[in-house]
Structure formats: C-alpha cells, structure tokens
C-alpha cells in the first residue's frame, strides 16, 4: 500500500495561484495524498474563491481540506496550522509543504516518496525547482548557507552541487519521524530562514537534507510578497524587511560568533541602497539592526513609512 502524504499549501491573497497549484496536484500520478489548504486571513475573497473552486472539482472535497487560520501567521505559523491538523489525523507518513505559487509535474510526488523510501537518512527532501516562466531554467537543487554573512543561495548546476545546507520552502518534503523528533517550523521569523532553521535542528539529530532530482516543481518565485520573476530587482519592502530581520535572528540563535561579520555585511547593504537612492531601505536596515523583535507593522508605525 502507498504511504500517505499530507500536502500543506498556504494561501495569502493569491487564490488564483493556489487554484492553479491545486489543479496540478490533483493530476498527480501518486494517489494516496490529502491536501490541507490554509488561508492566512487573506484580505480579499481568497477563502471563498478557493472553497467554491474545490466544490466544483471531482477531487475537491475528497482530497482537500480548507482551513482559515484567522490571522496572518506568516510562513511558518500558517504552515504549522496545516501540519498540526495533519499530524493529529495520525495516518500520515510524509508531509509536503508546497508553495501556492508552484505547479507540480504529475510524477513529482511519486519521486519524492520513492526517494524517501530509499534514503532513510534524509529527513528533509527537496524537489528540482524550475522557473515557472522559463521552464528549462533551474532555480534550486538545494541551498547553501554562508555563516559569516548570514546569506543563502541556491545550487543550480546538477554537476556542481556542494553539501546541501537546507531545502527551499517552495517544496519541503518532511518525514513523520523528523517532525516527531525536532518539532514544527520555527515561528519566530514570520518570513524567511524557517528552512535553514529546521534544517539546522534536523542536522543536530543527524538527519540530512537531500534533493530528489526527479521531482519537478515549477515556481513563480516570491509572487505572494511582490518579488516575482517579473520584478526581481524591485523586491517588496516587506520582503526586504523580513529577509534582513530573519538573517539576524537566525545568526543570533545558532551562530552568535558571526554577528560582527553579519553587521559589516549589513552596513555594505546600506551603502548599496544609498547608491540606488533607496533611502527608506537604509532607514529600515538601521531600524532592524536595533529592533529585531519588532515586526513590519511596528516599523511602519514608528517611522511613518
């Protein structure tokens, strides 16, 4: 009998992407799955739109559960609502966190399950992430982390992959054993660095992060926060805020000795934004360096930005 997989999809204001993602999941050749869609208190009619669409689909009510989280809990908080729901069911073997701005190949899930069955040492498994708009372009085959600067990046050349430090959150396949042993996603970040965090905790328990290259997922990259492939150079200020804030929080949590070099790197980032005349971003970085416990709304209220 096939192992059971719970697929967690988080929606926030982007119901069209979520429906396209769900449509691709329902075409999966691997059939023993249940989808848990968590709406992070969208400020549009996302919840109703997704509910109406599920009611029209043959697999909609059979294969999917729609949950309203009641607040914007961020990436980790929203996905954890789905994970808790799935774990409470007690019949799941694997848990696949899948970004809503993705579509999957029909064999993507089957490849992940087969890989997990063969590689028992892997607690976290990623897919081969391809660009949604340029489908022959590789986005990620796993990720690296630079401790000194607190920066991350993606391996994109299958012939030149080093040690995988973590897996991108666009497709994050987790084993039941891993979740029981190390817990859920850390909710202190709100956005970004949840993946390095769970990977670091997994590594402390001797689990590995690996990539199943046969599992293909197409990604619109950052569509939900205004940083899609069409405007990469115009990263949303909220995305910029949390990427910097989370970089500091992660370093403080796991690599305190790297804080001096991290802050030097952030000073360099401030200089770059000055050159680009992004004066609001300069103020923002300075604010975050002294107020990591504050969220984006606090920053806006205190600075009037």
pLDDT along the chain (305 residues), means of 10: 96 97 97 98 96 92 95 97 97 98 98 97 97 97 97 95 95 98 96 97 97 98 53 67 95 97 95 92 92 81 68
pLDDT at 181: 97
> Per-residue b/e over 203-230, b at no fewer than 16 CB within 10 Å?
beeebbbbbbbebbbbbbbbbbbebbbe
Residue holding tokens 């005349």?
A: 277
Give the single-character DSSP code of 191.
Answer: S
DSSP SS3 for 35: strand
For the whole prediction, is pTM greater than 0.85? yes
Nearest to 65 by CA among 7, 17, 117, 21: 7
pLDDT at 223: 59
Nearest to 39 by CA among 64, 70, 76, 5: 70
Give the single-character DSSP code of 258.
Answer: G
Give the single-character DSSP code of 226.
Answer: T
pLDDT at 304: 62
For residue 7, the cross-strand partners are 35, 96
pLDDT at 295: 82
Nearest to 165 by CA among 127, 125, 116, 199: 199
pLDDT at 229: 43
Nearest to 49 by CA among 17, 3, 84, 78: 17
Beta strand 171-175 with 102-104: parallel, antiparallel or unpaired?
unpaired
pLDDT at 225: 54
Q: Where are the domains of the chain?
A: 5-225, 232-298
Residue 77 CA: distances (Å) to CA of 38, 52, 100, 223, 238: 10, 25, 15, 19, 17
Q: Domain 5-225: which topology?
A: Spore Coat Polysaccharide Biosynthesis Protein SpsA; Chain A (3.90.550)
Alpha helices in the chain (DSSP H): 15-25, 46-56, 60-63, 74-89, 108-118, 176-182, 194-204, 237-254, 259-275, 279-290, 296-303
pLDDT at 179: 98
pLDDT at 231: 44
pLDDT at 226: 46
């Amino acid at each position: 009998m096939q192992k059971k997989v719970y697929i967690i999809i988080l929606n926030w204001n982007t119901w069209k992407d979520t429906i396209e993602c769900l449509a691709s999941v329902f075409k999966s050749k691997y059939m023993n799955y249940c989808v848990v869609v968590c709406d992070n208190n969208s400020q549009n009619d996302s919840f109703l739109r997704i509910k109406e669409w599920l009611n029209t689909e043959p697999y909609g009510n059979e294969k999917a559960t729609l949950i309203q989280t009641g607040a914007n809990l961020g990436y980790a908080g929203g996905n954890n609502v789905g994970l808790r729901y799935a774990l409470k069911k007690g019949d799941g073997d694997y848990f696949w966190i899948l970004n809503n701005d993705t579509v999957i190949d029909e064999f993507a899930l089957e490849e992940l399950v087969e890989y997990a069955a063969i590689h028992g040492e892997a607690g976290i498994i990623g897919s081969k992430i391809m660009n949604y708009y340029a489908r022959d372009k590789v986005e990620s085959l796993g990720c690296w982390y630079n401790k000194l600067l607190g920066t991350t990046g993606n391996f994109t050349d299958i012939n030149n992959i080093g040690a995988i430090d973590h897996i991108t959150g666009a497709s994050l396949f987790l084993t039941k054993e891993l979740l029981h042993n190390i817990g859920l996603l850390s909710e202190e970040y709100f956005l970004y660095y949840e993946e390095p965090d769970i990977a670091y905790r997994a590594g402390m328990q001797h689990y590995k992060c690996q990539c199943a290259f046969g599992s293909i997922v197409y990604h619109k990259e950052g569509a939900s926060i205004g940083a899609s492939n069409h405007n990469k150079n115009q990263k949303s200020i909220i995305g910029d805020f949390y990427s910097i804030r989370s970089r500091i929080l992660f370093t403080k949590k796991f690599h305190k000795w790297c804080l001096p070099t991290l802050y030097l790197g952030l000073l360099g980032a401030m200089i770059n934004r000055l050159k680009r005349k992004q004066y609001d971003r300069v103020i923002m970085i300075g604010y975050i360096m002294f107020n990591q416990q504050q969220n984006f709304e606090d920053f806006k209220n205190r600075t009037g930005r």
